[in-house]
């Protein structure tokens, strides 16, 4: 187990496995992962572990499964694992609600000028209430564009409807009416972006979506639009977004994920219209426990000779 997991998860792991833990939660190196894998049957890794082709080739023959404590698995080279006959599993579904809640927090924080307001309060520079002071914009009545109306996108839309927002979305294919729940479908991103007062990113990181938010696509958004990202940092071109925020081409951004985490682009740190969180999407005790139990469920099924529920296809 490459990172320290919640106590209940580690307790269960000790009951069922001869498990080796990361007791101080230090970030493992490639060398430490390979060393720790010796004479082991499986690895339980996290999104911070880069399990690329070179590392997979270096793993001992004893490793038969990699169970990742995450929904995303772009940190694992799936074809390389398949070539070695190593199964890969993930933990979908269990972090849907927690991540959707963070998406709404980002929308509120970005729209209501939270970064500058909190800084003013904490610095002691708040002198008095003013009719035109620290003005933001309301979510009520705004058009919310959702890029990827999957589980988390739909949960975000459900919560946004409570704020009186009009939901628009783009997927590779249109959803049925039951899952759309009145959301307006756009068959390309240009159509979606053009009507998105707030654009919330919920698509996977793929070769097609990496760098999708760039100067050209930002130009499709309405003037002063707000960008929200709880998906993956590499979907956004940092330079383009920082430029758009600094020039007020975009009104604000709410970001929970970044390129090269935790070493985010320093240009974000001086922007009062950037509301930033340190990848808190699934950071509730309930969700992290559920993720750990799901990862162990997958290991249990595999070692019992069953097909794990969350087997990733190579």
Active-site annotation, residues = 232, 261, 279
Residues 192 and 186: beta-carbon distance below 8 Å: yes
- Of 185, 229, 223, 194, nearest to 211 by C-alpha is 229
Residues 107 and 226: beta-carbon distance below 8 Å: yes
Residue indicated by tokens 């933990």: 91
For 50, the token pair is 């880069």
| Phi, psi (deg, nearest 5) at residue 68 | -100, 135
CA-CA distances (angstroms) from residue 183 to 17, 166, 167, 177, 192?
46, 7, 5, 9, 12
Sheet (strand 42-46) strand order = 42-46, 65-69, 87-89
> Could you tell me the end-to-end alpha-carbon distance of the chain, in angstroms, rounded to an integer?
23
């Amino acid at each position: 187990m490459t990172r320290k997991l919640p106590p209940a998860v580690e307790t269960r792991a000790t009951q069922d496995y001869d498990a080796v833990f990361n007791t101080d939660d230090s970030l493992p190196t490639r060398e430490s992962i390979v060393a720790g894998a010796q004479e082991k049957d499986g690895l339980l890794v996290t999104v911070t572990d880069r399990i690329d082709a070179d590392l997979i080739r270096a793993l001992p023959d004893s490793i038969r499964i990699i169970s990742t404590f995450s929904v995303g698995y772009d940190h694992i080279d799936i074809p390389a694992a398949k070539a070695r006959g190593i199964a890969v599993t993930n933990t979908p579904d269990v972090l849907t609600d927690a991540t959707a809640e963070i998406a709404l927090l980002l929308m509120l924080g970005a729209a209501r000028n939270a970064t500058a307001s909190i800084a003013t309060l904490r610095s002691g520079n708040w002198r008095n209430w003013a009719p035109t002071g620290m003005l933001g914009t309301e979510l009520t009545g705004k058009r919310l564009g959702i890029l990827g109306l999957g589980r988390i996108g739909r949960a975000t839309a459900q919560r946004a409807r409570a704020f009186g927002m009009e939901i628009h979305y783009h997927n590779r294919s249109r959803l049925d009416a039951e899952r759309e729940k009145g959301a307006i479908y756009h068959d390309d991103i240009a159509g979606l972006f053009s009507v998105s007062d707030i654009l919330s990113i919920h698509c996977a990181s793929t070769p097609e979506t990496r760098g999708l938010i760039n100067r050209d696509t930002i130009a499709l958004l309405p003037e002063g639009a707000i960008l929200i990202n709880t998906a993956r940092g590499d979907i956004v071109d940092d330079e383009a977004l920082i430029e758009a925020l600094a020039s007020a081409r975009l009104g604000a951004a709410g970001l929970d994920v970044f390129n090269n985490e935790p070493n985010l682009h320093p240009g974000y740190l001086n922007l009062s219209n950037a509301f930033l969180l340190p990848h808190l999407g699934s950071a509730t005790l309930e969700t992290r426990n559920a993720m750990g139990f799901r990862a162990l469920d997958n290991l249990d099924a595999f070692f019992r000779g069953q097909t794990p529920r969350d087997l990733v296809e190579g």
